[in-house]
Structure 1
Amino acid sequence: MKFLFDLFPVILFFAMFKWGEGHVASAQQLASTYLSGFVSGGVVTAEQAPILLATSVVIIATLLQIGYLLARRKKVDVMLWVSLLIVGVFGGATIYFHNENFIKWKPTVLYWAFASTFLISQFVLKKNLIKTMMGEQLDLPAQVWSRLSLSWAGFFLMMGVLNLYVAFNFPTAVWVNFKLFGGMGLMLVFVLAQSVFLSKHMQEPK
């Protein structure tokens, strides 16, 4: 359930973009009605409408995520606040300048924020985030916890680079597909690889 909750903004981004692509005239009319006041020059073209609508939806969806958690009096993860900040800045710039390049940078900045969190925690704060999250369920040697943390940092660094490659070397529609299916697929493969790695080093809890 949490996995779907975390993917909620990305799924809506994908759905809105695809709807905009398939309903160009309606998308332009909708974007002109609700976004023209936020767009520099006040004009939304048919070509720009799908990505601008999708961007506005992902901002609203992230706000709804946080609002839902606060209403339920649940803790809002720090990275969700960071995600809101990043999508607000890059999404807002995308809408105002009607330039999709800004929102294309958003996943990379978020991935690199994750990677930086792992690296700073391990090398500066001397705290292993993976062990903090999973230490009660698993008993692993210190070097294995360290490898896990570094592998997650490396994965997020790689995902940031890969996002930029796809975003600026392929059409926007391809990038939107990659953003959901490519990112989700690579994450699944990485988690499965981590599971295989863990199975070789797992010890009985003390």
Structure 2
Amino acid sequence: MKLLVDFFPIILFFVAFKVWGIYAATAVAIAATVVQIAYLRMRHGKVEPMQWVSLGVIVVFGGATLLAHNDTFIKWKPTVLYWLMGAALLIGQLAFKKNLLRSVMGAQLKLPDPVWRKLNWSWTAFFALMGALNLAIAYRFDTDTWVNFKLFGGMGLMFLFVIGQALYMGRYLQEDKGAAAEPAPALPGQDQQP
């Protein structure tokens, strides 16, 4: 259900674009994001800071697209969002010596400090590259190709990156202290020392 809520505006944007074009799709994306934030607020009582930022970016860049009747603004929206997320991770690490990934995920995952640092740097680089790739597609191809990339290419690359991150983290996940303190059962044929 959470995955559907997260991708709700993107999917509606894609469908609206295919049916009515870029300007109607932009208006739908703005409305869908407002509904998404309202739903999250009512359902969970709070909205994550990046979701507020995402709402602000879609309202500003989507609004500029509709007011100027120029689709360049909406094409910049994913890049701005990617670069803001990457910048937050970078500034958190360099200026405040705080790993924001660890702050968000540390309660669910126990990983060594060097692994958290590598994850932080890899996400920073990924967001920077995704922002640049979005602009390359937006300026070198037609709007239909850009919209297809936004849904299938962007989400596909994100999915592959997350799978790669999960495989990397899996090697370093630390056991819960209580479980690690229990002795391992002896294999058949092993001598048991008192």
What TM-score does the superposition give when structure 1 sets the normalisation length? 0.82
Give the alignment's Cα RMSD to 1 decimal.
1.2
Q: Which amino acid aligns with 2:159?
A: L
Q: Percent identity?
A: 55
User: Is the alpha carbon distance of 1:199 and 1:73 closer, same or farther for their aligned partners in structure 2, counting shifts above 3 Å?
Assistant: closer
Mapped contact 1:90–1:102 kept (Cα < 8 A)? yes
Are 2:57 and 1:103 equivalent residues in the alignment?
no
Q: Secondary structure at the match of 1:72?
A: helix
Code of the aligned partner of 2:11: I
Letter in 1 for 2:52: W
What is the letter of the counterpart of residue 188 of structure 1? F
What is the rounded CA distance, in whole Å, between the counterparts of 2:31 and 2:23 in structure 1? Answer: 12
Contact 1:138 1:205 in 2 (8 A): no
> What's the counterpart of residue 3 of structure 2?
3
Per-residue deviation, 1:69: 2.2
How far the C-alpha of 1:70 sits from its partner, in A, is 2.5
Question: 99, 103, 113: which one pairs with 1:132?
Answer: 103
User: Which of 46, 66, 71 is equivalent to 1:75?
Assistant: 46
Offset of 1:73 from its aligned partner? 5.1
Letter of the aligned partner of 2:68 in structure 1?
A: F
Question: 1:203: which partner in 2?
Answer: 174
For residues 68 and 202 of structure 1, what CA distance do their matches in structure 2 show? 33
The two structures have a TM-score, normalised by structure 2, of 0.87
Aligned to 1:33: none
Q: Equivalent residue of 1:155, what SS?
A: helix
Query: Gaps spanning 5+ residues in structure 2: where?
Result: 178-194
Identify if the C-alpha distance between structure 1 residues 59 and 153 changes in structure 2 by more than 3 Å, giving closer, same or farther: same
In the alignment, which residue of structure 1 is the partner of 2:147?
Answer: 176
AA partner of residue 84 (structure 2): A
- Per-residue CA deviations over 1:174-196 (Å, capped at 9, x if unaligned) read 00011111111001100111112
Q: Which residue of 1 aligns with 2:163?
A: 192
Which residues in structure 2 correspond to 1:1-206 (within 5 Å)? 1-20=1-20, 50-72=21-43, 74-206=45-177
Instruction: Call closer, same or farther: CA 1:69–1:202 in 2, change over 3 Å.
Output: closer
Letter of the 1:8 counterpart: F
Q: Residue 57 of structure 1 aligns to which amino acid in structure 2? A: V
What 5-or-longer segments of structure 1 have no aligned partner? 21-49
Match of 1:42 in 2: none
Quick check: 70-79 or 162-171, which moved more? 70-79
Partner Cα separation in structure 2 for residue 15 and residue 70 of structure 1: 25
How many residues were matched structurally? 177
Instruction: Work out whether residues 131 and 145 of structure 1, in 8 Å CA contact, stay in contact via their aligned partners in 2.
Output: yes
SS of residue matched to 2:103: helix
**Which whole-Å CA distance do the structure 1 matches of 2:4 and 2:91 have between them?**
28
